[in-house]
Structure 1
Amino acid sequence: MPTVLTVCTGNICRSPAAELLLQRELGDAITVASAGTHALVGHGIPAPMLTELAADGIDGAAHQGALLTEAVMRDADVIITMTRDHRRLAVQTAPGALKRTFTLAEVAAAAGTGATLTGTTVAERLASLPAAIAAHRHILADFDLSDVPDPYRRSQDAYHESYTMIRGAAREIGAWLRG
């Protein structure tokens, strides 16, 4: 089954939220997983992010932080990072993943500006995503491709800000991939 991998630092706030939101958007057509560049392995999602997820009817209690490895990246069809630095670290971990690794902002901007995907199913459209973004980069250069700020150990407002960015991007990406 096609796989999307979401990546952040600790794999307990942003990337699991993106994982859960994208999985909800895309259903059973693909698998969405997450990992962290400096993961808090085995740790759960902090209460403030669980609160944000719960407000959208998502239960994140079962999540446990996992480390980003070359093997995990090799198995992913598309890798979506929360920041440009995460993208850099991911590509250092698995250089062969360069052409299928993007920031969340890049993918959402490509979706929002109508980059052309091919195929009729979510899986087929996901397979065409790297080429669609590559062909659309000249348009994306004019966009503010902001990183998703890390809310860890900050206020509920910080979690809400990050979550809102991720949720908006996940909705945009989900609609694009569903066609």
Structure 2
Amino acid sequence: MSGILTVCDANVCRSVAAELLLTEQFSRHLAAAGIQVQSRGAQALPAHSACRLVEDLRDDEAWRSRARKHQSAQLDVAAIEEADLILTATISTRASVVSLVPSARRRVFTLREAVSSASGFIPSTGAAGDDLVRDFTAHLDSRRGLQSLPTTRGSRWRRASHPFDIADGHTGGHRAHVEAVAQVEKAVSQLVGAMTADPTLPFLAGDRR
């Protein structure tokens, strides 16, 4: 197994944004630079491009080129079995992963769930690339169910989603779409920060308590 798999429904927005953002941010850290990230959709139609909001998330042409080259792909057993860590947009998508490969249960989390469980992560000495991912996955699994769920509120028109979900913005209009992509970006930044922070630095260790 190797790398990280991100999963949403159609593989055109949330999972693609997470894939590209993780790749971008991992490239800035020596220990994480070799981590491979790919994405899939639990209900994907084949060969669809990334949505425009994902393409417009960055101004640089390298980002736009990667977004334009994306082709949606259906989640399958091979992709699940290959990944050391699987990050989903919602708990229902997490369940879809486990229904395909029950043995993957200890490697699959929603993106927000992973962020919530990341506190206190200390990698093995010298861990980099796939070893860093495996250490992080083991840490997340050890904290499964121990975190307090954040409170989420619905609205007059929209029922509150699970606090570990990043809901599909395509079904809620432009504002919801923008919010969903922003939530992915924030969660990825927090996750990469937790994976790559040096726990030997006192101020970082203090942040983790």
Residues 96-144 of structure 1 deviation map (CA, whole Å, 9 limit, x = unaligned): 2111011101111122x3244334334222111222112223531x132
Partner secondary structure for residue 39 of structure 1: coil
1:30 aligns with 2:30: no
Contact residue 107 and residue 141 of structure 2 kept, 8 A: no
Q: Structure 2: how far apart are the matches of 1:176 and 1:56?
A: 26
Range moving further from structure 2, 160-169 or 7-16? 160-169
Which one has a bigger Cα radius of gyration? Answer: 2
Q: 1:168 aligns with which of 186, 189, 195?
A: 186
Deviation at 1:55, TM superposition (A): 5.0
Amino acid at match of 1:10: A
| Pairing 1:114–2:132 present | no
Counterpart of 1:148 in structure 2 is 166
Q: What's the secondary structure of 1:152's corresponding residue?
A: helix
Identity over the aligned pairs, expressed in percent?
30
Query: Structure 2 CA distance, aligned partners of 1:173 and 1:119?
Result: 19
**Is the partner of 2:68 in helix, strand or coil?**
coil
Tell me what 2:13 maps to: 13
Aligned residues: 176
Distance 1:48 1:131, change over 3 A: closer
- CA–CA separation in structure 1 for the residues paired with 2:194 and 2:183: 17
User: Which has a greater percent of helix?
Assistant: 1
Match of 1:54 in 2: 58
CA deviation string 1:30-52 (max 9, x = no partner): 1000000011210001223322x
Contact 2:17 2:184 in 1 (8 A): yes
Q: CA RMSD in A?
A: 2.0
Aligned residues of 1:119 and 1:125 also touching (Cα < 8 A): no
Structure 1 runs of 4+ aligned residues shifted over 6 Å read none
Q: TM-score, normalised by structure 2?
A: 0.77
Other-structure match for 2:158: none
Cα distance change on mapping 1:119 and 1:106 into 2, 3 Å: farther
SS, match of residue 37 in structure 2: strand
Q: Is the 8 A contact 1:41 1:66 kept in 2?
A: yes
Conservation of the 8 A alpha-carbon contact between 2:123 and 2:132: yes
- TM-score, normalisation: structure 1: 0.89
**1:45 aligns to what?**
50
Query: Counterparts of 2:128 and 2:177 in 1: how far apart (Å)?
Result: 30
- Distance (Å, rounded) in 1 between the aligned partners of 2:52 and 2:38: 20
For 2:60 and 2:186, how far apart are their aligned partners in 1?
12
1:70-85 alignment runs, 5 A limit: 70-85=77-92
In the alignment, residue 69 of structure 2 is paired with which amino acid?
A: A
Q: Which runs of 5+ in 2 are unaligned?
A: 28-32, 151-162, 198-209
- 1:122–1:178: 8 Å Cα contact kept in structure 2? no
**Equivalent position amino acid for 2:92 in 1:** D
Distance between the aligned counterparts of 1:135 and 1:146, measured in 2? Answer: 18
- Inter-partner Cα distance in structure 1 for 2:124 and 2:60: 31
SS of the residue corresponding to residue 54 of structure 1 reads coil
Match of 1:133 in 2: 140
Q: 1:55 to 1:149 in 2, by over 3 A?
A: farther
Distance verdict in 2 for CA 1:149–1:56, change over 3 Å: farther
Alignment partners' CA distance in 2, 1:45 and 1:84: 22
The verdict on how the C-alpha distance between 1:176 and 1:120 changes in structure 2, with shifts beyond 3 A counting, is: farther
